[in-house]
Amino acid sequence: MIAVQHLYRTYGDGPDLLHANRDISFRVSAGEFVVLAGPSGSGKTTLLNVIGGLDSASSGSVLIDDVEVTALSPRALAEFRRDRVGYVFQRSNLVASLSVYENAVLQLRLQKRLTRAARERTRALLDEVGLGSKLEALPAELSGGQQQRAAIVRAVTSETTLVVADEPTASLDSTNADGILQLMRRLNEDSGVTILVSSHDDRVIEAARRVIQLADGAIISDSEAAGGGSA
Ligand code: ADP
Ligand code: MG
């Protein structure tokens, strides 16, 4: 469902030319849970942003369900982001002035898919992740781990086909980080949503079925391509 082909993202030119992503190619099947690993500066955020339509490629292509994301007009790309992709970032995921519930249904509202069933599903999921008593709370009243859980609920309830999560556990303590990881794994298994998560957290990497390792903007290993990696 995701096919990345010879993707490059460069910054600057001449002596200042920097390859944030260089010649990246891989495929991800629908429903996979894939971790992009690599040290800070290896190109994880750049790659997630290009795949998720938040940034454009310098060359190469990204196909998602046969849509060539890298060839969409700005308007079509905005619709693609709204309708197809759920985003989880390291922090500042939630709109500060909206309640937990309103944050969780925000993308569904924008998609005009906020049906009764969708509201109920969102409430059930918030309850399931321990936020049932926080529906009317503002993000500032939640812990970092609770905020990330609400952000993940939003990303998976909005009927997106792909969730990109950029170091979602990086600002959390280990207990909260484990909870977030388990939540993403379970939602991946239950809903079949494809999840791409970047991390340099060993626990995240160890728990993944498939790890794509980046260094200096390039893929240096892919546990699937190597035939291993089943956890
Ligand atoms: P990671 O997420 O793995 O830490 P990034 O994708 O953020 O890596 O960055 C990859 C490389 O691209 C780094 O060398 C970074 O400094 C560079 N880079 C990222 N964004 C920009 C930008 N907007 N302008 C110039 N260089 C950038
Ligand atoms: Mg990053």
Asked if 167 and 199 touch (Cβ cutoff 8 Å), the reply is yes
Ligand 2 centroid from CA 45, angstroms: 4
What is the pLDDT of the chain when averaged over all its residues?
91
Whether residue 73 has its Cβ less than 6 Å from ligand 1? no
Which residues are near ligand 2, the ion (C-beta closer than 5 Å)?
44-45
- Say if ligand 1 is within 6 A of residue 42 CB: yes
State mean pLDDT over 210-222: 96
- Which residue's C-alpha comes closest to atom 15 of ligand 1? 41
Q: With CA atoms as reference, report the closest residue to 26 among 213, 228, 216, 230.
A: 213
What pLDDT score was predicted for residue 225? 65
* pLDDT (average), residues 80-85: 93
Mean pLDDT score, 173-200: 87
For residue 97, report the distance from its CA to the centre of ligand 2, in Å.
26
**Interval 102-107 mean pLDDT:** 95
- Percent pLDDT > 70 in the chain is 97
How large a percentage of the chain has pLDDT more than 90? 71
pLDDT for 208: 83
What's the confidence (pLDDT) of residue 228? 44
Q: How far apart are CA 38 and CA 200, in angstroms?
A: 6
Look up residue 187 and give its amino acid. Answer: L
Q: What is the pTM of this model?
A: 0.92
**CA 39 to ligand 1 centroid distance, Å:** 11
Checking if the pLDDT of 230 tops 50, the result is no
Best probe residue, ligand 1, of 7, 8, 10, 11 (max atoms within 8 Å of C-beta):
11
pLDDT at 50: 96
105-143 pLDDT, tens digit per residue, is 999 999 999 999 999 999 999 998 899 999 999 999 999
Q: What is the mean pLDDT of residues 185-190?
A: 87
Under the banding of pLDDT at 50, 70 and 90, the label for residue 226 is low
194/39 Cα distance (integer angstroms): 23
Residue 91, pLDDT score: 80
Which atom in ligand 1 lies closest to the alpha carbon of residue 214?
3
pLDDT grade for 205, boundaries at 50, 70 and 90:
confident
Confidence at residue 183, expressed as pLDDT on a 0 to 100 scale: 85
Say how far apart CA 126 and CA 137 lie, in whole Å: 12
Per-residue model confidence as pLDDT tens digits over 38-82: 999 999 999 999 999 999 999 999 999 989 999 999 999 999 999
**Quick one: pLDDT at residue 74?**
93
- Residues 6 or more apart whose Cβ sits within 8 Å of residue 160: 83, 84, 85, 86, 107, 193
Residue 194 has pLDDT above 60, yes or no: yes
Q: Is the CB of 36 under 6 A from ligand 1?
A: no
From the CA of 214, the nearest ligand is 1
Centre of ligand 1 from the C-alpha of residue 20, in Å: 6
206 alpha carbon – ligand 1 mean position (Å) = 25
Tell me the ligand closest to 19's alpha carbon.
1
pLDDT of residue 229: 42
